[in-house]
Amino acid sequence: MLGSCLETVRKTTPLVHNITNYVTVNDVANALLACGGSPIMSDEPEDVEDITSICAGLNINIGTLNQRSIEGMFRAGAKANELGHTVLLDPVGAGASALRTNTAIRLMESIRFQVIRGNVSEIKTLALGSGKTRGVDADAADTVTDRNLGDMVAFAKAFAARTGAIAAITGAIDLVADANVCYVIRNGRPEMSRITGTGCQLSGIATAYAAANPENRTEAVAAAVCLMGLAGEIAFARMQLGDGNSTYRNRIIDAICNMDAETLNRGAKYELR
């Protein structure tokens, strides 16, 4: 059951090194603490190898790139691979600019990622080597629906087989796939897309879950995705008159903090394909 992955994270408190974007870095740290992990942030090239060496996982998020942070990503990724640590790529906005697209593709060529998490447009960009996204949001044509679900499940499995990484494609319907199995997940609320950083938070949490559960990584990443979506549902149910985006963000983090295995097992909405 997915709840066992949650319990392992809370028992082991995996330390996660985050090279993440400046817009959401504080929320990523708080979400990691809420889920039972421990965050550390560094993108300075002279610092990242030492930092990632003491961690269980590395979360690379390309949301606010600069040449210093890009160098830090490559150096931290190489060190994490050398040590056998879990590494996740969040290709934020891949397809929106040449720098983002080329950096994401170069990272994939140089670093072994155990997890790649993004929206459909971002993952298609990585699969094709080029693409188009609307900022950090998925293009309207790139959505997982019940109509195209079979094709998208096949795409996710094929992408995972080619890259050797678990593919976590998030949107209205979430897909978490390795080469053999795909979790089709229907947790979450549309209002979550109106808050900056829910995807970035999920990438940090997924890194912690994958690092803490190396023997069943696909299930662990699926548990993280269900956890985030379920937290969005619980948080929305607790909204009161006058509450807005800021309150909703905080309520999501509170719901992550208060989540237990029973609640996750009971509330997770998924099927295996």
Task: Going residue by residue through the chain, which has 273 residues, state the pLDDT in tens, using 9 for 90 and above.
Answer: 899 999 999 999 999 999 999 999 999 999 999 999 999 999 999 999 999 999 999 999 999 999 999 999 999 999 999 999 999 999 999 999 999 999 999 999 999 999 999 999 999 999 987 545 444 444 445 789 999 999 999 999 999 999 999 999 999 999 999 999 999 999 999 999 999 999 999 999 999 999 999 999 999 999 999 999 999 999 999 999 999 999 999 999 999 999 999 999 999 999 999
pLDDT of residue 1: 85
**The Cα angle at residue 256 between residues 253 and 262, in degrees rounded to 5:** 160
Residues contacting residue 91 through CB under 8 Å, at least 6 positions apart: 62, 100, 104, 116, 118, 122, 123, 125, 126
The tokens of 105 are what? 């593709």
pLDDT of residue 136: 44
pLDDT of residue 129: 78
Strands (E), 102-141: 115-118
pTM of the model: 0.95
pLDDT of residue 130: 55
pLDDT of residue 180: 97
Residue 68: give its domain's CATH number: 3.40.1190.20
Among 71, 253, 87, 65, CA closest to 166:
87
* Structural domains of the chain, count: 1
pLDDT of residue 142: 75
pLDDT of residue 135: 45
Domain range for residue 146? 2-272
| Element at 89 (helix H, strand E) | strand 86-90
CB 90 within 8 A of CB 60: yes
**How far is Cα 18 from Cα 220, in angstroms, rounded to an integer?**
19
Tell me phi and psi for residue 91, to 5 degrees.
-85, 60
CB 149 within 8 A of CB 126: no
